[in-house]
């Protein structure tokens, strides 16, 4: 009898006990879209590249100023401390000449540049203050070249193929970049709950590093390559979606 009464009282006490609060499961940090602008001042030192033979002479090369302008836009995704960014640019110079007799000649030289960058926040938290990061990137320039002339003979057409190959070597190529940077929040988006300051919606930053670009030599220098190593410094402005 005492045993039955004890079991009954234990059941009543268990029924009246408050339910255990479930432990919240932390959701994985989602990927967020990042849009950015990078301003790279060229300075008067860029004019000296012409005397060193680093410019392509076509206006569509890596260092000519059209394919990689001072103001560049990029986009990508960020998750936690890791950002994957990409950019693309295109430069094309098309010159067509026509005579009264109806003869035409066309010189079309351009390049498509695609690049990607991985960035890792190393120290700090941009939601509360400055954050320091390191980055590494790759790029490739795809040449777009054609020469035509309605007055060319068959021999001149063959000679033009060598010229086209030379131009492709000048505007094509690939390279990489390495560097470090820092960002600070300009605007914050208020998040629900007791989160002070909110998440950064807009941030201002600066980065510095080194860029390397390599391309094949001219037709008369088969087997050679031109490698250009330049310091890189940029101001950045980034907007992150929520």
Instruction: Give pLDDT tens digits for 52-101.
Output: 667 788 889 898 888 998 899 999 999 989 999 999 999 999 988 888 88
Say if 176 falls within a structural domain. Answer: yes
Query: What residues contact residue 190 under an 8 Å CB cut-off, 6+ apart?
Result: 198
Q: Where are the alpha helices (DSSP H) in 66-152?
A: none
pLDDT: is 167 or 21 the higher one? 167
Supply the pTM of this predicted model.
0.78
Give the Cα separation of 145 and 143 in Å (integer): 6
Q: What is the mean pLDDT of residues 1-6?
A: 51
User: Is residue 156 assigned to a domain?
Assistant: no
Q: Is residue 6 part of a domain?
A: no
Query: pLDDT band at residue 6, thresholds of 50, 70 and 90?
Result: low
Of 12-16, 114-118, 179-183, give the lowest mean pLDDT range: 12-16
Residue 185: which domain range?
Answer: 32-89+114-140+170-240
Domain count, the chain: 1
Per-chain mean pLDDT for the chain: 81
């Amino acid at each position: 009898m005492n045993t039955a009464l004890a079991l009954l009282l234990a059941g009543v006490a268990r029924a009246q006990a408050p339910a255990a609060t479930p432990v919240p499961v932390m959701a994985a940090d989602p990927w967020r879209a990042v849009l950015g602008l990078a301003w790279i001042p060229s300075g008067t030192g860029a004019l000296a590249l012409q005397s060193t033979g680093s410019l392509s002479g076509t206006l569509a090369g890596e260092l000519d100023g059209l394919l990689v302008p001072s103001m560049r836009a990029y986009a990508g995704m960020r998750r936690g401390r890791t950002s994957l960014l990409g950019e693309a640019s295109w430069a094309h110079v098309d010159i067509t000449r026509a005579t009264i007799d109806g003869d035409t000649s066309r010189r079309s030289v351009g390049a498509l540049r695609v690049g990607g960058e991985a960035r890792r926040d190393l120290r700090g938290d941009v939601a509360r203050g400055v954050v320091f990061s390191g980055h590494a990137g790759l790029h490739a320039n795809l040449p777009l070249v054609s020469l035509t002339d309605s007055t060319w003979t068959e021999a001149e057409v063959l000679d033009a193929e060598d010229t086209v190959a030379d131009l492709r070597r000048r505007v094509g190529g690939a390279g990489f970049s390495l560097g470090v940077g820092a960002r600070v929040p300009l605007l914050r988006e208020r998040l629900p709950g007791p989160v002070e300051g909110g998440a950064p919606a807009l941030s201002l930053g600066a980065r510095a590093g080194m860029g390397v670009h390599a391309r094949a030599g001219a037709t008369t220098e088969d087997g050679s390559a031109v490698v250009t190593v330049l310091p890189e410094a940029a101001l950045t402005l980034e907007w992150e979606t929520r």
